Amino acid sequence: MKMKRVSKILAAGLSLVFAAALLTLSACGDSSVNGDSSGDPGGDGNGKISSGVVNVYNWGEYIDESIFDDFEAETGVRVNYTTFQSNEEMYAAMKLGGASYDLIIPSDYMVERLIDEDMLEKLDFANIPNLDYISAARQKPAYDPTGEYSVPYMWSTVGLIYNSAMIEDAVTSWGALFDPTYAGQILMFNNPRDAFGIALKYLGYSLNTTNEAEIRAAYDLLVEQKSILQAYVMDQIFDKLEGGESAIGPYYTGDYLTMKEVNDDLRYVLPTEGSNVFTDAMCIPKGAENKKNAELFINFMTSTDVSIANMDITGYISPNEEAADEYAATLDEEAAEVMFPSGDELARCEPFLNLPQETLDLYDQLWAELKS
C-alpha cells in the first residue's frame, strides 16, 4: 500500500499561489490573500498585513511544516514551532508558564481539563471565518460544549501496529500486548491515559471508569506486562517499528500510514475490544501574548487546501468535510479503510473524558509506581 501524495504536490504549489496573491495585494491594496477566508481577518481593516510571531506547541510528526512559509507569506506572521510527546507533558509545560505559547494542540480530554481550570482564552471567531468549513458534528463537542475555546484540528483512532514478518498470525486483540510469546519485542505507550486505557479495554472496562477496583485491575495487568516489554515509547516507536527493532506496539492510526511507507511488512488493526477515538484541537493558552496571530493561524490551518496538505503528511482526518472528502478520493482501498474507520469500528470506540481529580491522582500514583 502506498498513500497517493496528490495533495503534497498541491501543498508545494501553495507557495506560488500565495506569492501571486501577494503581488495582487501590492497592486490592488487588498489585504485578503487566503482564498478560503472571508473579510479581512489577517489585517487591521485598512489593508495592512499582520506581523510578528506565533508560538505553536504541537505533537511531534503532526503537521506539514512546509506550510509555515505559506502562512508567513500570507499574514506576515512567523511561526515558532516546538513539539511535545504527550498531553501530560504539554499540561506540565502549561502549569509551569504556558503563556510563552500562543497556540497549543491538546487532545479532547485535556482541552476539557484546561477549560475547567481556566487555562484557555476564549476565541475571537471574527478572526476565524474558516470555521464554516468545519463539520457541524464536530463543532461544540462534549469537551468544549459552548465551542468558545477550541477548533478541532484532526481526529483519528488508536490501534495496534505489528510486523507481519515477525508475527505470523493475524493480530486482532489487545491481548497480543500481554502475550509472553512476544517478550522483548513489545512496545507500550509511555503515558498513563493511553496505557491504562488499553488495559481497561482489554479487561472489558470503559476508558473513563472511575471505579478504583477496575483501575487497579488494569494496573495489575500493566505490572505483569512490564517484564515482557522492550520499552515504553512515544515518537520513538517510528524508528523501532520501521526498522524492525520491535514486533508490535500501539499507536495512532495516522502514524501507521507514515510507517507503512517505510516498512511494507507492517500491519494495522483496530482491536476487537474497541479503542480510543480522539480529537486534537487548537486552543490559545490564558495570557498568550500573540492571541490574534494564533487565531489567524487557526484560520489558516482550517482552510481546505492546508487541511488536505496536513492529511497527506500526517494520515489523520481533518474535520474540514470538504478536505476530508477530497483527500479520501485520492487513497487506495487499504489506506482509506485504515484512515477512515467504519461505523461498526467507531461504535466500539470511545473518547477519553476528563476525570475527577481523585481519579487523576490515583492514575498519577499508580503510574509512578509502575515506572519506578
pLDDT tens digits, residue range 131-167? 999 999 999 999 999 999 999 999 999 999 999 999 9
Between 22 and 131, the more confident residue is 131
Q: Which of 90-104, 200-214, 255-269, 317-331 has the lowest mean pLDDT?
A: 90-104
| Mean pLDDT over the full length of the chain | 87
For the domain covering 156-277+339-371, report its CATH number: 3.40.190.10
Q: Which of 12-21, 36-45, 98-107, 344-353 has the lowest mean pLDDT?
A: 12-21
CA 103 to chain centre: 14
pLDDT band at 97 (very low <50, low <70, confident <90, very high): confident
pLDDT tens digits, residue range 60-73? 889 999 999 999 99
Given a cut of 60, whether residue 44 has pLDDT beyond it is no
Q: Can you give the residue ranges of every domain in the chain?
A: 6-155+279-333, 156-277+339-371
Given a cut of 60, whether residue 41 has pLDDT beyond it is no
What does the pLDDT average to over 186-191? 96
What does the pLDDT average to over 92-96? 92
Q: Which pLDDT score is estimated for 235?
A: 87
What does the pLDDT average to over 363-369? 97
Given a cut of 80, whether residue 27 has pLDDT beyond it is no
Given a cut of 90, whether residue 39 has pLDDT beyond it is no
Given a cut of 90, whether residue 7 has pLDDT beyond it is no
Between 360 and 33, the more confident residue is 360
pLDDT band at 258 (very low <50, low <70, confident <90, very high): confident
Q: Which pLDDT score is estimated for 50?
A: 56
Domain 6-155+279-333 is found in CATH 3.40.190.10: yes
Given a cut of 60, whether residue 9 has pLDDT beyond it is no
Given a cut of 60, whether residue 19 has pLDDT beyond it is no
Given a cut of 70, whether residue 251 has pLDDT beyond it is yes
Given a cut of 80, whether residue 336 has pLDDT beyond it is yes
Given a cut of 70, whether residue 280 has pLDDT beyond it is yes
